[in-house]
């Protein structure tokens, strides 16, 4: 084998190894450990067309290439929704203030009561809980589409029970983590601050995994 061929072969072997060593050293120096999150969905986030509390129309393209966290709520909810919204606000603040996060992100809170939760109603609710309208969007739209998203993609309950005046809508307390490619990577109790902190950690692990891929 000629000398140039040997050098080329050596580079092919050493380059991947050197990159691996570099990132291992980098992780050790920063105290970070990559947690490999499971893929929990067989299909990717489908296309959708919803309206935000800002009055803007959002589609699947708004989430492309971004880490997504979603939940389902309604503004008249006096049960789990206030706690979920407070924790989503904490998550928004954490992600916006974290200088180590390089991935763009989007937070989507879907109403399960689109009849009442108009853009103006959602706008008032967003002001109370501090949804910035740049990263965190409260969305409404066609009821069938909202419920199809909840049930068929997120695999979460969404049910209208008009006969139950205290709890006219059934929905999940879970926050769902979706990666940049549109696959579900985790579920977290949005009423539990400990679980939300775990979500924060998992987002950073997912972000670090994307950094390593680069």
pLDDT tens-digit map of 162-200:
777 667 899 999 999 999 999 999 999 999 999 999 999
Q: What SS3 state is found at 69? A: strand
Based on the fold, state whether residues 140 and 204 are members of the same structural domain: yes
Q: What is the DSSP string of 103-166?
A: S-EEEEEEES-TTT--HHHHHHHHHHHT--SSSEEEEE--HHHHHHIIIIIS---EEE-TT-SS
- β-partners of residue 169 are 160
If asked whether residues 132 and 183 sit together in one domain, one would say yes
In this structure, the answer to whether residues 25 and 108 fall within a common structural domain is: no
Q: Is residue 202 part of a domain?
A: yes
Q: Which two tokens stand for residue 72?
A: 């389902």
Rounded to the nearest integer, the mean pLDDT of the chain is 89
User: Residue 41: inside a domain, yes or no?
Assistant: no
Assign residue 146 the CATH number of its domain. Answer: 3.40.30.10
Q: How many domains does the chain have?
A: 2
CB proximity list for 173: less than 8 A, separation 6 or greater = 80, 84, 189, 190, 191
Residue 185, token pair as written in the block: 């990577």
How high is the pLDDT of residue 30?
47
Residues 127 and 165 in one domain: yes
Whole-prediction pTM: 0.83
Looking at the domain assignment, is residue 39 inside a domain?
no
Query: Per residue in 135-154, pLDDT tens?
Result: 999 999 999 999 999 999 99
> Containing domain of residue 11, as a range?
1-31
Q: Per-residue pLDDT tens for 94-112?
A: 999 999 999 999 999 999 9
Q: How many angstroms from the chain centroid is the CA of residue 5?
A: 47
Q: Is 93 part of any domain?
A: yes
19 lies in the same domain as 81: no
Do 3 and 67 lie in a common domain? no
> Percent of the chain, pLDDT > 70?
84
- CA dihedral (136, 137, 138, 139) in degrees, to 10, reads -150
pLDDT in tens, 53-80: 999 999 999 999 999 999 999 999 989 9
The answer to whether residue 76 is domain-embedded is: yes
Specify if 44 maps to a domain: no
């Amino acid at each position: 084998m000629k000398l140039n061929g040997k050098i080329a072969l050596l580079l092919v072997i050493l380059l991947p190894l050197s990159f691996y060593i570099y990132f291992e050293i980098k992780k050790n120096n920063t105290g970070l450990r990559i947690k490999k999150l499971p893929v929990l969905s067989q299909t990717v986030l489908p296309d959708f067309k919803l309206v935000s509390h800002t009055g803007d129309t959002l589609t699947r393209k708004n989430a492309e290439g971004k880490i997504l966290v979603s939940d389902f709520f309604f503004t008249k909810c006096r049960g789990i929704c206030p706690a979920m919204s407070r924790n989503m606000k904490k998550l928004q603040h954490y992600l916006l203030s974290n200088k180590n996060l390089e991935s763009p992100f989007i937070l989507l809170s879907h109403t399960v009561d689109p009849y009442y939760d108009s853009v103006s109603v959602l706008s008032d609710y967003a002001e109370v809980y501090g949804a910035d309208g740049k990263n965190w969007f409260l969305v409404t739209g066609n009821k069938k589409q909202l419920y199809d998203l909840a049930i068929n993609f997120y695999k979460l309950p969404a049910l209208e029970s008009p006969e139950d005046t205290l709890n006219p809508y059934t929905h999940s307390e879970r926050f769902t983590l979706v990666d940049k490619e549109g696959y579900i990577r985790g579920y977290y109790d949005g009423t539990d601050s400990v679980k939300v902190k775990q979500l924060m950690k998992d987002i950073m692990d997912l972000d670090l995994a994307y950094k390593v891929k680069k």
